[in-house]
Homo-oligomer: A and B are copies of this chain.
Amino acid sequence: MKCGKQTYKIDKPVFLSETYTVGGPYEAKSNFGTFFDCVMDDDLWGCNSHEKTEINMQKHCIDGVMQKANIGASDVDCLIGGDLINQIVPSSFSAREFEIPFLGLYNACATFAESLGLGALCMQNGMNAVICTASSHYATAERQYRYPLELGTQPTPASQWTVTAAGSVLLRIQDEEKPHISHVTFGKVVDLKCTDANNMGAAMAPAACDTILTHLRDTGRTPSDYDMIVTGDLGRFGMDTLRFLAKQEGIRLEDNLNDCGAMIYATEQKAGQGGSGAGCSAAVYCAYLHKLLCQDKWKRLLFVPTGALLSKASSLQGESIPAIAHAICIEK
Contact = CB atoms under 8 A, between A and B. Distances in A.
Given A10-B125, A317-B52, A107 B101 contact: no
Given A2-B127, A114-B103, A125-B124, A93 B314 contact: yes
A87 B108 contact: yes
A87 B101 contact: no
Interface residues of A, number: 61
Given A93-B319, A319-B93, A313 B118 contact: no
A106 B126 contact: no
A77 interface: yes
B114 A121 contact: no
Interface string A304-319: 0000011111100101
B99 A188 contact: yes
Interface in A254-305: none
A37 interface: no
Given A82-B106, A188-B100, A125 B1 contact: yes
A130 to B, nearest CB: 11
Contacts of A118: 103, 118, 122
A103 B106 CA distance: 8
Given A87-B106, A309-B93, A128 B186 contact: no
A96 interface: yes
Number of copies: 2
Given A107-B103, A125-B1, A314-B87, A78 B186 contact: yes
A103 to B, nearest CB: 6
Contact of A96 (B82, B85, B190): B190
A314 B186 contact: no
Interface in A123-137: 124-128
A17 interface: no
Contacts of A82: 106
Contacts of A66: none
Contact of A311 (B87, B103, B107, B117): B87
Interface of A: 1-3, 6, 8-11, 49, 51-52, 77-78, 82, 84-89, 92-93, 95-96, 98-108, 114, 117-118, 121-122, 124-128, 186-191, 309-314, 317, 319, 322, 324
